[in-house]
């Protein structure tokens, strides 16, 4: 998400301007050794709690609640029979503990009891709200629920493991919205729009072809990257019969699965169990699960759980007027640089990794976070799962009180270990800017994007044959390892690949658009780095030209499974391309030094032609030499091959098993990718 949807009203700063330590600033070492201040923090004097028991600690004998709220004068815990409605059991006054913590100890078994908390601050009772650490909630996330997590596990869960990866570059990501996958009538999936929709096998479209989970397994992707699957605000979970759609970039309860994707949002355990069943079913097919996480802002601002319990603390403010920062363009931005916010994020990601066995995290608008937080996320998550993937959008959607040198920006990827950033350089280099429908890229006829594409091919790293001055956005390498970049050409934001090609090339025939489509993702799937596909792209997914479909109906967002039949040849092309990448480690080198040594571009005096070789069994590839030729022009090109016989495995838009033998000169088709090898 780069631009939102909820234009929430910024608050009037005066009411919440805190009294503590107004001028507190800390210093860090910035660029060139210059001292740079961290973001303004008027709450620097708040105590920090170092325990790991915030939220509920349940046992059959007792339940302990702990809530952090230094400014509170009183704290109430309310117990309810249900997640909504008028069914209060009782109200308990919490006890003040050291370090800003409030606690309540209940003797007896309170399993399946719902609860809320309410703080009294400056003599006023704030709104009753769910505990931000809640791990289960009732409908619409209004009340937490006391659960026994150990009992909410599908059969065989003890044997479930994340997907092991030798290197992050071995991953092939598939970005998917849970509802989109199954909601179309022709998906053949029973649990439409639900977590369980991803567990069904043997499902078929109207033409008898596989859909859903079986389709993804057949396609060969290694990880699904799920758009927000934690509890968000915008879909009313109490009306499952009403079709509702949202991407979900409006977080409500970070440690709880979204209720509208469960078969019963009113019962807290159901969504937990069904999320785990989904992870388990994907793992059984060898597919990992990456969660899109949105710790950078909350869906609500002053009504959020955070602001009702500790006003102001969880969000950044501008020093000049105390108003909330809005680098998310959604009305607020969280303050990952503050101790208890960073702690919250770290405890949340490690909870998902440990309890739900997820395989990684994609950080929305990651540059709203500070680099230190991201480095700590990597360390904490990899301690649980060494194969975990951590990547994010290395940009913000607006200015932030967090000084630029601290931000987890794309250009700072060099300073973060194990965090990958999305490459907008290759994305727009291949198919044109996302901000201009008419602009084209290398695959759609542009004559000035080949250097941006070459920069993407070498995983945005240092390589002697790249002229950085000619790269579209980045004038310097920003990775020290190919594991630090995610290459893609389309995602949920903006137009689908097909729609973008069509908007920018209204003159092109359908056949020509398909050639561009193939060339675009052939570049992505043969480039060094981590490749990423927008779900359905392999079936020529369309959103009928819509850019920002975050709240559009299913008719815009759903995957229409008959596309698989209508675009059979294209879909099979993608499947072959993925098989090729998986069979050939040369396309997945794990180190920049290996890329510098083994990847050599052929110098060509043609801005629409890119030719490179992967040499000497690169990364222990079974093929000695691989030659890759991308022709972005609409005319056939003649390419001189190095001496000897070559086997053409991809030529004239088609894959062929062992490949036809060629030598001397080779004609390459208009707008095409060609892949040859030699032993």
Q: Which is nearer to Ca ion, 5 or 546 (CB)?
A: 5
Least Cβ distance, residue 298 to Ca ion (angstroms): 13
Find the binding residues for Ca ion in span 258-297 (CB under 5 A).
259
Least Cβ distance, residue 232 to Ca ion (angstroms): 5
Angle between helix 510-526 and 450-457 (nearest 10) = 40
Tokens encoding 443: 């695959």
Least Cβ distance, residue 18 to Ca ion (angstroms): 31
Residue 622: Cβ-neighbour burial (10 angstroms; 0-12, 13-18, 19+)? exposed
Find the binding residues for Ca ion in span 319-348 (CB under 5 A).
none
Answer whether 325's CB lies under 8 Å from 401's CB. Answer: yes
Q: Which is nearer to Ca ion, 478 or 550 (CB)?
A: 550
Neighbours of 90 (CB within 10 A): 9
Answer whether 413's CB lies under 8 Å from 374's CB. Answer: no
Tokens encoding 530: 């981590």
Residue 284: Cβ-neighbour burial (10 angstroms; 0-12, 13-18, 19+)? middle
Answer whether 307's CB lies under 8 Å from 184's CB. Answer: no
- State the Cα–Cα distance between residues 450 and 437, nearest whole angstrom: 20
User: Which of these segments, 254-262, 402-410, 524-532, 536-544, binds Ca ion (CB under 5 A)?
Assistant: 254-262
φ, ψ (nearest 5 deg) of residue 551: -125, 20
Answer whether 586's CB lies under 8 Å from 618's CB. Answer: yes
Residue 589 CA, distance from chain mean position = 23
Q: Which is nearer to Ca ion, 231 or 267 (CB)?
A: 231
User: Which of these segments, 159-167, 251-259, 359-367, 586-594, binds Ca ion (CB under 5 A)?
Assistant: 251-259
φ, ψ (nearest 5 deg) of residue 665: -115, 155
Q: Is 145 in the site for Ca ion (CB under 5 A)?
A: no
Least Cβ distance, residue 235 to Ca ion (angstroms): 6
Q: Residue of minimal CB distance from Ca ion?
A: 231
Residue 491, CA atoms < 13 Å, CB-side half-sphere: 28
- State the Cα–Cα distance between residues 182 and 190, nearest whole angstrom: 8
Q: Binding-site residue total for Ca ion (CB under 5 A)?
A: 2
Least Cβ distance, residue 292 to Ca ion (angstroms): 15
Answer whether 211's CB lies under 8 Å from 560's CB. Answer: no
Find the binding residues for Ca ion in span 633-672 (CB under 5 A).
none
Least Cβ distance, residue 230 to Ca ion (angstroms): 9
Residue 571, CA atoms < 13 Å, CB-side half-sphere: 20
Q: Is 307 in the site for Ca ion (CB under 5 A)?
A: no
Least Cβ distance, residue 639 to Ca ion (angstroms): 54
Answer whether 610's CB lies under 8 Å from 454's CB. Answer: yes
End-to-end CA distance of the chain: 45
Find the binding residues for Ca ion in span 394-423 (CB under 5 A).
none
Residue 648 CA, distance from chain mean position = 36
What is the residue whose two structure tokens read 């540059």? 367
Tokens encoding 272: 């937990």
Least Cβ distance, residue 250 to Ca ion (angstroms): 9
Q: What character string, x for contact with Ca ion (CB under 5 A) and - otherwise, covers 53-92? A: ----------------------------------------
Q: Is 231 in the site for Ca ion (CB under 5 A)?
A: yes
Q: Which is nearer to Ca ion, 162 or 259 (CB)?
A: 259
What is the residue whose two structure tokens read 């400014």? 71
- State the Cα–Cα distance between residues 336 and 349, nearest whole angstrom: 13
Q: Which is nearer to Ca ion, 231 or 484 (CB)?
A: 231
Answer whether 63's CB lies under 8 Å from 148's CB. Answer: no
Nearest CA among 676, 633, 677 for reference residue 651: 676
Q: Which is nearer to Ca ion, 254 or 478 (CB)?
A: 254
Q: Which is nearer to Ca ion, 231 or 337 (CB)?
A: 231
User: Which of these segments, 123-131, 228-236, 514-522, 599-607, binds Ca ion (CB under 5 A)?
Assistant: 228-236
Per DSSP, the three-state class of 23 is coil
Least Cβ distance, residue 592 to Ca ion (angstroms): 42
90 pairs with which residues across the strands?
Answer: 79
Q: Which is nearer to Ca ion, 144 or 259 (CB)?
A: 259
User: Which of these segments, 226-234, 293-301, 355-363, 645-653, binds Ca ion (CB under 5 A)?
Assistant: 226-234
Q: Which is nearer to Ca ion, 81 or 239 (CB)?
A: 239
Question: Which sequence positions are flagged as catalytic?
Answer: 364, 393
User: Which of these segments, 253-261, 307-315, 410-418, 566-574, binds Ca ion (CB under 5 A)?
Assistant: 253-261
User: Which of these segments, 24-32, 201-209, 257-265, 330-338, binds Ca ion (CB under 5 A)?
Assistant: 257-265
- Considering Cα of 341, then 228, then 573, then 581, what sign does the dihedral take? positive
Least Cβ distance, residue 237 to Ca ion (angstroms): 5
Q: Which is nearer to Ca ion, 131 or 231 (CB)?
A: 231
Q: Residue numbers of the site for Ca ion (CB under 5 A)?
A: 231, 259
């Amino acid at each position: 998400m780069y631009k939102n949807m909820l234009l929430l009203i910024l608050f009037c700063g005066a009411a919440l301007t805190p009294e503590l330590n107004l001028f507190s600033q800390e210093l860090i070492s910035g660029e060139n050794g210059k001292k740079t201040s961290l973001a303004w923090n008027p709450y620097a004097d708040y105590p920090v709690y170092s325990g790991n028991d915030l939220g509920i600690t349940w046992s059959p004998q007792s339940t302990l609640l702990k809530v952090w709220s230094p400014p509170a004068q009183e704290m109430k815990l309310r117990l309810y029979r249900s997640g909504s409605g008028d069914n209060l059991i009782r109200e308990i006054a919490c006890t003040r503990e050291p370090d800003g913590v409030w606690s309540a100890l209940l003797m007896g078994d309170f399993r399946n009891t719902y609860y809320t908390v309410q703080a009294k601050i400056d003599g006023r009772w704030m709104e009753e709200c769910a505990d931000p650490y809640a791990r289960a909630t009732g409908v619409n996330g209004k009340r937490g629920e006391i659960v026994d997590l150990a009992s909410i596990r599908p059969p065989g869960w003890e044997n479930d493991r994340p997907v092991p990866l030798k290197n992050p570059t071995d991953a092939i990501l598939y970005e998917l919205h849970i509802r989109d996958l199954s909601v179309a009538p022709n998906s053949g999936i029973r649990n439409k729009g639900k977590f369980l929709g991803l567990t069904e096998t043997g499902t078929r479209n109207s033409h008898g072809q596989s859909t859903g989970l079986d389709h993804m397994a057949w396609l060969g992707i290694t990880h699904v990257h799920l758009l927000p699957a934690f509890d968000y605000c915008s879909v009313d979970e109490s009306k499952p019969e009403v079709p509702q759609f949202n991407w979900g970039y409006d977080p409500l309860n970070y440690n709880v699965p979204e209720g509208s994707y469960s078969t019963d949002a009113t019962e807290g355990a159901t969504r937990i169990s069904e999320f785990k069943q989904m992870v388990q079913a994907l793992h059984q097919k060898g597919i990992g699960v990456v969660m899109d996480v949105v710790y950078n802002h909350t869906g609500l601002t002053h009504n959020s759980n955070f602001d009702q319990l500790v006003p102001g603390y969880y969000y950044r403010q501008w020093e000049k007027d105390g108003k909330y920062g809005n680098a998310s363009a959604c009305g607020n931005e969280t303050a990952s640089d503050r101790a208890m916010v960073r702690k919250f994020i770290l405890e949340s990601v490690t909870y998902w990794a440990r309890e739900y066995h997820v395989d990684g995290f994609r950080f929305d608008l990651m540059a709203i976070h500070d680099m230190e937080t991201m480095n700590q996320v990597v360390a904490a998550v990899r301690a649980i799962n060494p194969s975990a993937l951590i990547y994010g959008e290395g940009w913000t959607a607006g200015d932030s009180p967090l000084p630029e040198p601290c931000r987890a920006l794309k250009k700072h990827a060099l300073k973060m270990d194990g965090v990958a950033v999305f490459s907008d350089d290759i994305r727009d280099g291949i198919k044109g800017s996302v901000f201009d429908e008419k602009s084209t890229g290398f695959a759609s006829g542009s004559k000035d994007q080949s250097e941006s594409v070459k920069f993407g091919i070498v995983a945005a790293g240092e390589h002697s044959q790249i002229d950085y001055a000619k790269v579209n956005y980045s004038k310097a390498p920003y990775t020290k390892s190919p594991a630090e970049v995610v290459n893609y050409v389309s995602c949920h934001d903006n137009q689908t690949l097909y729609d973008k090609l069509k908007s920018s090339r209204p003159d092109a025939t359908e056949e020509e658009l398909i050639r561009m489509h193939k060339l675009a993702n052939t570049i992505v799937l043969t480039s060094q780095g981590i490749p990423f596909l927008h779900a359905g792209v392999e079936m020529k997914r369309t959103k009928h030209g819509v850019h920002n479909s975050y709240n559009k109906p299913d008719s815009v967002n759903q995957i229409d499974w008959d596309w698989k039949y209508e675009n059979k040849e294209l879909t099979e092309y993608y499947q072959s391309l993925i098989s090729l990448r998986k069979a050939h480690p040369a396309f997945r080198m794990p180190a920049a030094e290996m890329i510098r040594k083994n990847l050599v571009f052929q110098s060509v005096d043609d801005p629409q032609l890119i030719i490179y070789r992967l040499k000497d069994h690169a990364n222990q590839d079974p093929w000695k030499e691989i030659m890759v030729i991308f022709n972005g022009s609409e005319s056939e090109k003649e390419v001189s091959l190095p001496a000897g016989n070559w086997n053409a495995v991809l030529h004239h838009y088609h894959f062929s098993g062992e490949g036809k033998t060629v030598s001397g000169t080779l004609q390459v088709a208009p707008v095409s990718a060609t892949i040859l090898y030699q032993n």
